[in-house]
Amino acid sequence: MPVLVMKFGGTSVATLDRIRRAAKRVGVEVAKGYDVIVIVSAMSGKTNELVGWVNETSPLFDAREYDAVVSSGENVTAGLMALTLQEMDVPARSWQGWQVPLKTSSVHSSARIEEIPTDNINAKFGEGMRVAVVAGFQGISPEGRITTLGRGGSDTTAVAFAAAFQAERCDIYTDVDGVYTTDPRVSSKARKLDKIAFEEMLELASLGAKVLQTRSVELAMRYKVRLRVLSSFEEQSDEAGTLVCDEEDIMESNVVAGVAFSRDEAKMTLVSVADRPGIAATIFTALSEAGVNVDMIVQNISEEGRTDMTFSCPTDQVARAEKAMDAAKGEGIINFHELIADTDVAKISVVGIGMRSHTGVAAKMFQCLSAEGINIKVITTSEIKISVLIDRKYMELAVQALHDAFELDKAA
Amino acid sequence: MPVLVMKFGGTSVATLDRIRRAAKRVGVEVAKGYDVIVIVSAMSGKTNELVGWVNETSPLFDAREYDAVVSSGENVTAGLMALTLQEMDVPARSWQGWQVPLKTSSVHSSARIEEIPTDNINAKFGEGMRVAVVAGFQGISPEGRITTLGRGGSDTTAVAFAAAFQAERCDIYTDVDGVYTTDPRVSSKARKLDKIAFEEMLELASLGAKVLQTRSVELAMRYKVRLRVLSSFEEQSDEAGTLVCDEEDIMESNVVAGVAFSRDEAKMTLVSVADRPGIAATIFTALSEAGVNVDMIVQNISEEGRTDMTFSCPTDQVARAEKAMDAAKGEGIINFHELIADTDVAKISVVGIGMRSHTGVAAKMFQCLSAEGINIKVITTSEIKISVLIDRKYMELAVQALHDAFELDKAA
């Protein structure tokens, strides 16, 4: 029988009633003839509670013990989901990560999935079991210890199972009903997309659209897993939600798929850096070694052997960046006048695979912002994305103006 | 290094502060030179919450899923305890049941321990680890599924580890500071015992003294594990609490060790049973098959081919007993006039290994009750125990009078 993977996030299994509701959705797919693999998160709030206890007990915790503690929430929902399905006369059983076994690397608290043997679960499907409920987010290391995949890891678990079992589709049930052209809280004209390409979803996910974990989208793209995002709180048809798929599967699409934004970016400027060959490499190696995730980089024109270097990084890494630069200056590796941190900025991005074949997207974006009197501080581009840093106070205005300019409220 | 097993119950690990307190006690033993195996329960209330969810989801639950759900509480405390010890610079790590692996039978929700391999944990002790923190109450079946040992199973886990590792002692930390001659809430003269024999503890445990689970005492007796019950809420010396041990290890003891009582017993009388050879076997087979735990049995003198048969059973099994007897009557297997249930009784027991060598204990008990005007309804005796059923309203009076009569407030 064809296999379907269905993943339910924390809000979708937050109470026994919601677990029942989710189980009913599973029952619908079973009735259609699917063998179903259900991936569950912990009840919403549970993992945060466990993480809080670990942090309070041991601020610099042993990640192996962290994993042993925080993985327990998923075990509870997996068992309860299996029991709920059994009550509905759907043959089901639960699996914890180590029982599958979902084999991972030994990098505790952010382990990578290495292998998912299918024989165990397939044998049970062969015996008439219709639903395998698997605790998401967790696996087992080569040393036989419990690992976790990092926050949001249940999405990744679901996609990995879909790839391993060659599932027809991987449905991600969540508390939103799909992927939107932008955040509906910022623009009332935001429109739900029926389909979006993996590459676009990846850019949106990494830009902070919290619908799917970036790693899960990467994995789906690599293994060509058809991924659907839909709401567990509404009655669903086969066409509900948003399908994340290969761009070949999208017949018509707008040049720009969506407008993303982030408030959590800071603009950092190293003023008057002594310019010499290799100075950029030196600076960004030092930042990387300090664990600073640099996003945008701009180097101004050099004057008299000195230059200004501007980069952006997450706001909560500003202190770390400052410490790393001061240390490098102290050691004489880098010479600069001062480091200015500007946390009062926002990043606005337009994303769309159509940019590959359409010119003028950047020009249109800059004109639109200029017409609203919004000054652009930094620009970066990729093949399918253009991002700018602007004053934070203009963020909502910029999003709304760009949404209008690219006519995202209208389907292609 | 010698091994010590320390078990902390739910109230002893109910909060992060209490876990710290328990970890400090563990640190004291490590400093003395012990390699320590710590067995932890779930935070108090957690297991009840999980059991509640399972029952609400599926009243006739699949016990395999029940076990997968309810075992999760212990995993949390095991990880937190290991982290707490690490914070105190005590080398420690956690083990879940399947990691040891603690091998059990497949009887889910009340599995029996079959084997505890020691190589895994001993190898870590050999590498310098000083504390193995093990999640109590859980194991793994031959089929690779999680099992639990039944409520109070963490005591049994602790004793089984002490036996497997030939531990010097098994310390059970709980919310009382030892075993008393009777419940201090009923008699203010109740005295804490320094030592008690396994056989006596077994009788007291099965009579409802909730200090230790009966199975754990049986196991300790079989493997000669020195078992100590003590409070996790007080500063402890090496002589604190009550040592449960072989009777040879007790130099002097009172004839009677303690007075136990139970409010949860009902007196059942089958009136005018048609007497014939094998009638008792027929009655008690029917009750046993209905799952009724019969404790005391008395058969009155038969008159004209009919007799009265009285037995006691737990109050919550009265309905089941009535149903079984009515069914047997309906099938013509047993002929009786009526079944009278008296739930307004209490069982009082005096327990002591000294009874084996001292005569007159029963006589003294009956005289004491008689002097207080308390009528005895049913009597049973074992080698080291005499139990009587009396009117419930006299229960406290009987306990106090017997405590005085046997001078239990005075040490031997």
pLDDT in tens, A94-120: 999 999 999 999 999 999 999 999 999
- Give the contacts of A48 (CB within 8 A, at least 6 positions apart): none
**pLDDT tens digits for range B360-400:** 899 999 999 999 999 999 998 888 999 999 999 999 999 99
Buried-state track A352-362, b at ≥16 Cβ within 10 A, e below 16: bbbbeeeeebe
Which backbone phi and psi does B112 adopt, to 5 degrees?
-105, 140
User: Between chains, do A96 and B50 touch, taking CB under 8 Å as contact?
Assistant: no
Q: How confident is the model at residue B305 (pLDDT cuts 50, 70, 90)?
A: confident
Which backbone phi and psi does A172 adopt, to 5 degrees?
-105, 105
Buried-state track B296-316, b at ≥16 Cβ within 10 A, e below 16: bebbeeeeeeebbbbbbbbee
Q: Using CA atoms, how far apart are residues A257 and B350, in angstroms rounded to an integer?
A: 82
Interface test with B, best of A49, A69, A90 (most B CBs within 10 A): A69
A54 — contact with chain B (CB < 8 Å)?
yes
Of B56, B69, B73, the CB nearest to A79: B69
pLDDT of residue A208: 59
Q: Does residue B159 surpass a pLDDT of 70? A: yes
Interface test with A, best of B18, B56, B62, B81 (most A CBs within 10 A): B62
**pLDDT tens digits for range A326-348:** 999 999 889 999 999 999 999 99
- Give the contacts of B242 (CB within 8 A, at least 6 positions apart): B178, B179, B192, B193, B194, B195, B196, B228, B229, B230
Degrees to nearest 5, angle at CA B369 with B366 and B371: 105
H-run or E-run covering A379: strand A378-382
Question: What is chain B's mean pLDDT, rounded?
Answer: 92
Q: Does residue B321 surpass a pLDDT of 80? A: yes
A156, A215 contact by CB (below 8 A): yes
Q: Using CA atoms, how far apart are residues A349 and A355, in angstroms rounded to an integer?
A: 13
| DSSP one-letter code for A30 | H
Q: Using CA atoms, how far apart are residues A327 and A330, in angstroms rounded to an integer?
A: 5
Percent of chain A at pLDDT > 90 equals 76
User: Between chains, do A94 and B54 touch, taking CB under 8 Å as contact?
Assistant: no
Q: Does residue A262 surpass a pLDDT of 80? A: yes
Q: Does residue B75 surpass a pLDDT of 80? A: yes
* CA dist list (Å): B388 to B309, B344, B378: 16, 14, 5
Kindly indicate whether the domain formed by A3-175 is annotated with CATH number 3.40.1160.10. yes
Rounded to two decimals, what is the model's pTM?
A: 0.84
Question: What is chain A's mean pLDDT, rounded?
Answer: 92
Lowest-pLDDT choice from B61-65, B207-211, B234-238: B207-211
Q: Using CA atoms, how far apart are residues B157 and B133, in angstroms rounded to an integer?
A: 12
What average pLDDT score do residues B11-21 get?
Answer: 96
Q: How confident is the model at residue A411 (pLDDT cuts 50, 70, 90)?
A: confident
Which residue on chain B is closest to A101 by alpha carbon? Answer: B144
The number of C-beta contacts closer than 8 angstroms across A and B is 105
The radius of gyration computed from the CA coordinates of chain A, to the nearest angstrom, equals 24
Nearest to A389 by CA among A298, A321, A325, A307: A298
Q: Does residue B302 surpass a pLDDT of 80? A: no
Percent of chain B at pLDDT > 70 equals 98
Q: Does residue A394 surpass a pLDDT of 70? A: yes
* Residue A224 labeled ligand binder: no
B94: chain A residues, CB-CB within 8 Å: 65, 68
What average pLDDT score do residues A11-39 get?
Answer: 96
**pLDDT tens digits for range B246-293:** 988 887 778 899 999 998 899 999 999 988 888 889 999 999 998 898
pLDDT of residue B238: 67
Q: Using CA atoms, how far apart are residues B384 and A87, in angstroms rounded to an integer?
A: 48
